[in-house]
A and B are shown apart, each in its own frame.
Chain A
């Protein structure tokens, strides 16, 4: 796939007289490759959705995703779950955890990144090094000490340990990311705003944030998605079944003495994956805008 060809085609089309046929061919080629590779990306999801509609027996028969005897059994039984709550309860729990978590992550990451990127904070180098350092350690080793800590705080069996730390920019990954984006934005716009009399907070909110909006949206997306998949943390902090998020609920039916009804697990996995997909599709629209501030010439 020729990058140069793509790049040249990306510009607003020359008033299309010459090479119309060629353009169509290029279009077909491009879509062809996109679709082809896209299928490779999509196939496991297709398989999962298809398997959700299969009876349990059929699932391990073949890799074909189209069910031979389609049934809604996976969804119905899976929604009922083997517990006293429906899957809806677990979905609601998940949102109860994730929505605050994403919001506070975005706010704290942007605020703290702004401090790092734009100010000569005393001890900045040390603090930034600490920030990076927190990302480098494998998290499983922190689990037990964190558990003891939250036990002392009395936060066990609540949602607090799952999102309160995120309110304090403890996820260095996101802060680092926003810092990089901020540092790649020219200062001219902000300087102009300051000359106009804005304080730093106003500059942050009205100048910087709109410019790095794709990055901020990425932060929200990633945090949403990773939190949905997070298994170990809810496992050890939440003991009441009615508080389980989806990541725990999905594994409730997987046991060693009982045969697992995979069609149920996959049906509920499909449902669990939908919010992320929808969110991503909605969010990626912001990736089309690009920077609209053209008022500052370099």
Chain B
């Protein structure tokens, strides 16, 4: 740590300025709006204060309850799976194989495509009633399922979409793996460590700051997932894929209920903040930062 606080403040200054100039007003405004009945088609001046009415209405709203439920399901399923995938593939792609560059690019491509039309079309082909997946099932003698039309199954298609787009998490893990010095592996090998032992004693501990980052970010992004439901299922069928960000978007731009949408957003914020806070608190037990390690082992 450097002692010069003034320099430190100087480094952080752009953020403070940005906070004050660009972030503070929208944040505060949206928080205030959540206590109002502001409708988007009216001028802001007509909004009136309604206290916690929006929040109360939220908990009585059947659609909200359903949306919250499917959002939690989505997060709990996709986050661990995606982290595991991304770490595994990053590990695989960390080697000096010939042409590894092509593979890395290929594995990152799904993320580049983002919410593009091509994904929507291909996903439909794969998951439609007469689509590829069902055809493959029939070949193997399994019964085809109504992936897009059945409320229980539609979630599967958007979970898979998220898992398929693991590229960003993978890249971050890759960067993290790269940051582990070779000589540590050398030392471990000289000590006679097996490959698995090297992974658990050298790689994982040193990777924990990155795992921590990815974990937090994946949780946050999973809670904020919008594209998948929007383009693949439209939130259906029967709201079974109606994730909270989609509900917020529709409340804002379809129903013009900005006050209510703001309340939903801030409620989501609180939930995610709680998760994050717990994660940060737990990090002292399992995340190892370099300077706290003393001797690199």
Q: Are B91 and A47 in contact (CB under 8 A)?
A: no
Residue A200 at the B interface, CB < 8 A?
yes
Is B141 in contact with chain A by the CB < 8 A criterion?
Answer: no
Which of A30, A38, A112 is within 8 Å of B12, CB to CB? Answer: A112
Q: Contact between A122 and B9 (Cβ–Cβ < 8 Å)?
A: yes
Docked Cα-Cα span, A167 to B140, in Å, equals: 54
Smallest Cβ-Cβ distance to A288: which chain B residue: B96
Among listed A4-12, A16-24, A93-101, interface-contacting one: A4-12
Q: Which of A38, A144, A165 has the most CB of B within 10 A?
A: A144
- Quick check: is B73 within 8 A (CB to CB) of the other chain? no
The answer for the CA separation of A176 and B283 in the assembled complex, in Å, is 15
Contact string against A for B residues 166-183, beta-carbon threshold 8 Å, 1 for contact and 0 otherwise: 001001101110111111
Q: What's the minimum C-beta distance from B87 to chain A, rounded to whole angstroms?
A: 10
A231 to chain B, nearest CB (A): 8
Which of A108, A120, A141, A180: most chain B Cβ within 10 A?
A: A141
Cβ contact within 8 Å between A119 and B5: yes
Asked if A140 is at the interface of the complex by the 8 Å CB criterion, the answer is yes
In the bound complex, do residue B176 and residue A184 qualify as a contact, i.e. CB atoms below 8 Å apart? yes
| Given known A45-B113, A127-B16, contact A287–B183 (CB-CB < 8 A) | no
> Would you call B118 and A47 a contact (CB within 8 A)?
yes
Contacts of A289 in B (CB 8 A): 178
**A184-B176, A215-B175, A294-B182 known; A285 and B101 CB under 8 Å?**
yes
A114 contacts the other chain (Cβ, under 8 Å)? yes
Chain B binder among A72-80, A84-92, A262-270: A262-270
Interface residues of B in 243-297 (CB under 8 A from A): 244-245, 248-249, 252-253, 258, 261-262, 265-266, 268-269, 272-273, 276, 289-291, 293, 295-297
B11 A114 Cβ-Cβ under 8 A = yes
Q: Are B109 and A277 in contact (CB-based, < 8 A)?
A: yes
**Of the residues A38, A145, A169, contact of B103 by C-beta under 8 Å:** A38
Size of A's binding interface in residues, CB under 8 A: 109
- Is A170 engaged at the interface, CB distance under 8 Å to the other chain? yes
Quick one: given A138-B224, A291-B181, are A169 and B209 in contact (CB under 8 Å)? no
Interface of A is mostly: helix
A173-B217 in contact (CB<8A): yes
Q: Which residues of A lie under 8 Å from residue B253 when comparing CB positions?
A: 140
Distance in angstroms between the alpha carbons of A159 and B174 in the assembled complex: 33
With a cutoff of 8 Å between Cβ atoms, the chain A residues found around residue B33 in the complex are 141, 145
Q: Known A180-B212, A269-B116; judge A186-B296 contact (CB<8 A).
A: yes
Residue of A nearest to B89 (CB): A37
Q: How far is the CA of A289 from the CA of B175 in the complex (A)?
A: 10
The complex places the Cα of A127 from the Cα of B196 at a distance, in Å, of 40
0/1 string, B96-122, CB within 8 A of A gives 1: 110011111111111111111111011
Residues of A within 8 A of B106 (CB): 38, 41-42
CA distance A110 to B37 in the complex (A): 41
Neighbouring B residues of A294 by C-beta, 8 Å: 181-183
Contact B12 A127 (CB under 8 A): yes
Q: Would you call A218 and B172 a contact (CB within 8 A)? A: yes
Q: Is B15 a contact of A280 with CB atoms below 8 Å? A: no
Dominant secondary structure of chain B at its interface with chain A: helix
Confirm or deny: A29 has a beta carbon within 8 angstroms of a beta carbon on chain B.
no
Residue from the list A133, A169, A277 in contact with B14, Cβ < 8 A: A169
B145: Cβ under 8 A from any A Cβ: no
**A156 contacts the other chain (Cβ, under 8 Å)?**
no
Q: Is the CB of B115 within 8 A of A221?
A: no
A8 to B185, CA, bound (A): 11
Instruction: Verify B196–A287 contact, CB threshold 8 A.
Output: no
B201 at the A interface (CB under 8 A): no
Does residue B25 face the partner (Cβ distance < 8 Å to A)?
yes
The distance in angstroms between the C-alpha atoms of A38 and B22, with both chains bound, is: 41
Query: Which of B94, B117, B290 is in CB contact (< 8 Å) with A262?
Result: B117
Judged by a CB distance under 8 angstroms, whether A70 is at the interface is: no
The answer to the question of A103 belonging to the interface, with a C-beta cut-off of 8 Å to chain B, is no
CB distance from A174 to the nearest CB of B (A): 11
Q: Are B209 and A145 in contact (CB under 8 A)?
A: no
**Bound-complex Cα distance A217 to B132 (A):** 37
Chain A residues with CB below 8 A from B174, complex form? 214, 287
Which residue, A165, A194, A214, has most C-beta atoms of chain B within 10 A? A214
Is B59 part of the binding interface, using a Cβ–Cβ cutoff of 8 Å? no
The winner among B33, B105, B125, B183 for most chain A CB atoms within 10 A is: B105
A205 at the interface (CB under 8 A from B): no
A175 partner residues in chain B, CB cutoff 8 A = 15
Query: Looking at the complex, which one of A3, A63, A221 makes contact with B199 (CB distance below 8 Å)?
Result: A3
Give me 11 other A-B pairs in contact (C-beta within 8 A), A124-B12, A284-B171 excluded. Answer: A6-B195, A7-B199, A45-B109, A59-B121, A60-B121, A119-B9, A122-B9, A142-B30, A144-B40, A170-B18, A294-B182
For the complex of A and B, the 8 pairs showing the least CB-CB separation, nearest first, are A168-B18, A119-B8, A115-B11, A7-B195, A214-B175, A48-B118, A298-B296, A145-B29
5 contacts between A and B (CB under 8 A): A34-B103, A44-B113, A122-B9, A127-B15, A168-B18
Which positions in A face B, CB cutoff 8 Å?
1, 3-11, 30-31, 34, 37-38, 40-45, 47-48, 51, 59-60, 63, 108, 111-112, 114-116, 118-122, 124, 127, 130-146, 148-149, 164-165, 167-170, 173, 175-177, 180-181, 183-187, 194, 200, 211-212, 214-215, 217-218, 221-222, 225-226, 229, 250, 262, 265-266, 269, 273, 276-277, 280-281, 284-285, 287-291, 294, 297-298
